[in-house]
Structures are given as structure tokens and as C-alpha cells.
Structure 1
Amino acid sequence: MISILCRFMLACLLLPCLWAAALAQDVSFPELSSAVGGRQDVTYLDLAKMVVPDLKAGANGFYVGSAPIDVRDILGGEEGGSPPETVNLPNAAALAVKAGGKDRLAMLFDLGQSQDSAEGFAVLALYDLAGKPKLLDAVNVAVDRLTSFREPAKVSIAAGDDAIVTTSTHFNSNQGYAGTMVIMVRNDRFSLIDAIYTFDENYCAYRRTQNLAFQRLGGQKPYARLKATVTDATVPSGESCDEVSPKASSQDISVTYRWDKAKSRYVRNSDAFEKLSAENAKRF
């Protein structure tokens, strides 16, 4: 009886820690006016103003400001869209991550689109909250109109390191487009592991989906191998439609990434995702 009681008391003591650990895995959407991590001297708005310096509370719960600070594009070069001239930000997404064995906070600010760009502009920012908060790095991760953290938003690649996963999407009546950025943090700087593009269709006769999943593989240091798999599945609707109904099918398309010490970056073992993207483009 005493043993059972002790176990119960121990479980009660550990429950808050386990609950906190579970919450730490989740993306949060804090009010920008709220305090960061229980601190009374720093708000999420203070962090956001490191990206949009004149950001302030506006009408209808939005925060308004002018253009953000200059940031590079995660794809490199001039690939990304242009930032909007004015910002209307309802909220931001926050994610606790590990980088080089240290605690870091990643925040994603989807700032919208400029008038001359088909893509949105979304800033992924990395903060050090030990002592006075510091903005360590910031990049544009938007490759389509709407950008958010993917689910899951991070994948462990070492005991003290997480890869961050974002996705940009847009939809029309029958098609859905997604661009997923897999990003590591090294020396407190964002570095792209890969960009993976998928395409869904939903018609009267069938539905075709391309679902992306990640798996950490062991056996390598300092960073683990990472396997990404797209499951490309077609499911007939069984309805009477004008178009021909395809047969049910499903295939897995996988790429494995390993750390290349000489190149100081992840390299992939095939171009399967590039081929998939090219095949998808023929169906747009």
C-alpha cells in the first residue's frame, strides 16, 4: 500500500514536468502583448519589433507597421518575393527549439504579400532569450502565399539540435500547392536542408494527395541522417463523373539526407523530389 501511495505521489510530482515537456513540442500563437516565458520585462511585441521596428497595436486586434528589416531568402539569391510596404499582423507563431545544445526561440511572422509579388513574405526569426533578448538570425521562408510552421514543426537531428519545418501553401477549387522548407540551425544561423514541393488534387472522380513525413535515422554524428517520404496516393471517389476515374494507387517516394563534413551541410542521396516536382508541374 505504501509503495502504491509513493508511486502515486511521484506521478503527481512529475506530471507538471511531463505536461511542460509535451507543451514544449507545440507551436504556440501568443498575444504579442503577453510576456515571454513568464518574464515580466520582455513581451513578444518586443521580439517582433526586432523584425518590424515600428510595429505597434492597431485596430481590430492587428499590429501595424512598415516594411521589415532586410533579411536574406532561405533559398538564396533573389528567389523570394518582396516584403509588403505596410504590415498588418494579427499574431505570430512561436516554437522552442534546440540549437547547438542551447535553448532558442523561433518565431514565424507571415507579413502578407506585396502588390507586385505572387508570393507572400514570411520572416523566420531566431532569438536568444538568455539575459537581454537577441535576434540571432532572420530569413524569408515564404515560397507561396500563406506560410506557417508545419506539423510537426521540428525534427530532432541531434541530442541538442532540431531542424525546423515550415510550409507555404495556396489553394484553388480543385488543387492544393505546398512548398516545405526543412531548415537547420548551425552557429545560430539558419541553413536550408532542402525544399520539398507537393501537389494535391480533388476532383469528382478521384482525390490525389501527397503527404510528407520525416524520420530521424541513427548512426551518424554530429547530425543524424534524416529521411523524408512523400506518400503519393490516388483514391477513386466511386461517383459518376465526366472524367475517367483512375485506379487506386499509392507509392512512397523517399530521400535520405546525411551530414557531409567536408561540405559542412546536409546532402541528399537522390533527386527524387526534384523529379516529383517536375512531374507535378505538368498537372498544374
Structure 2
Amino acid sequence: MACHTRSNSFPSRSHPLASNFEEHLRKLRSSSSIFCRLNGLQDLHDCVDKVLCLPLTQQALAQEQQKKRVDELLNGSLKLLDMSSIAKDALLQTKECVQGLLSALRRRRRGDEISSEVKKFLASRKAVKKTIKKAFRNLKACSPCNISEEHETITILREVEAVTFTVFESLLSLIITGEPKAQPKLSGWTSLVSKLVQPNKRVACEEEESDINEFKKVEVALSSFIAHKSPTSKLDNIFHVQNQLKELETSIQDLEQGLECLSRTLIKNRVSLLNILNH
């Protein structure tokens, strides 16, 4: 990461960990798919865990003057775990509703009975969105600090926190709206961080279509289903609705798997920071 001055506490460019760290950041920058970005975060935090296990890193962060910063990183890690928990709860609730609606559709009830199930699904989605928005108001991105006054390892870990926050924010936006959140224009070091996860525009055109994805497509399909007045029209539309629901169910399962793996690594990193703080 050329914007920083290397210190003895962080691996030099020739060290495999430093090379891996920068490679993971490049991959995050080149991907616009939320699935790929979650996997990229997993790789990035795995690398962070290895860095935190280095004796030089532990000695540097255990210094008295760094303990306040380490404590701030711990607060940030807790915030990221909260965001992961919010996302997992929302995905689980949505998946359960998808499975319930698919079950009703397979039983081939009359059109009006299916419409009642569809309305329950849409009401549940509305509740999920409300819950996410309420919880998200209490979560703020990490505050920018003067890099020159920070230990380099602290700066790097704060950048990782900001990158992770950005991806989680995009995921929650996807769950709410069906589209990943557009990145805001930022200044200072936060702008540098946001650029790490900005997708290449050419790649975005190819990948984002799959992300504008099943959440939004299902709601459109179900709203159209409700709008049809003719029972025959409703029944004719069942197969389309079923296909959209199955695609959403598959996407949710993929997101859940990515979040679960990432959460375990976030917890592992948090334990490492706690051990350093209590050293």
C-alpha cells in the first residue's frame, strides 16, 4: 500500500503476508458482485489474523500509547459483528418466508388463497426493511484520523474496518432495495479506502445485473401477481413466481454461507485484539 510508510511492525513488501494483503485489496476493488466481495473480505480478514499473530505486531500494539487505538479497533470489530448479525437475521427471515410461499404455491391453492400468502410475504419484507433501517441508524462508519499520528499497523487495520463496513452497508442496501448502495464521494483517507472496493465500471456492467437481483425481482413479480384480477391469469403466473423465489432462495443461502464464514474470522480477529490489549 504505497500511501503508507512501512514500519517494523508490519511485514515489508517482500513478506508474503504483505503481498497477500495487497492482493486481496486489489481483488475487492475489481469485483462488484456482493458474493465475490464477501469472499474477498474473508480472505482479507484471514490475512489480518495472520498479521495479528506476528510477534512484532503484538509487541507494537501492546505498547501503552497504542492501547487506546486498539480499544477503538475492538469497538469497530463489535460494530462489524452487529452488522453481520443484522444481515444474517434479515436473510433468515426472508428465506423462511420464501420457503413458506413456495410451499403454498406447490400445493396449488386457488388464486385468492395464494394472493393472501403473497401479501404475507410482502408484509414480512416490509418488516425486515424497517428493522434494518432502524438498526442501521445506530451504526456509523469509523471516524477518520490523522494518519501521520497513527501507528502504521493501526492505520491498516482501520482501513480494513472501513472496507468491511462499506461492503456490509452495500449488502444491507441490497437486502432492503434489491440494489447495492452506491458509494458516496468522500475526502481524505476514507476516500482512499472507498476506492479499494469501487468496482471497475466495465466489470460492474457484467456483474451488478446479478446483484440487482432476486430481492427486487421477486417483489416485482409478486406485486404483478397481486395486480392480476383474473384467477386464470394468477395461476398462469405461478411458474414465473416460483422460479424467481427459487433463485432468491439460492442467493440467500450463498450470502448466509459467506456471512457465516466471515463472522467466524471477525470473531477470531477480535479475540486476537483482546489478547493484545490484555497483554
Q: TM-score range with shorter-chain normalisation? A: under 0.3
Higher relative contact order (CA 8 A, sep 6+): 2
The normalised TM-score by structure 2 is 0.19
The normalised TM-score by structure 1 is 0.19
Identify, as 1 or 2, the structure richer in strand.
Answer: 1
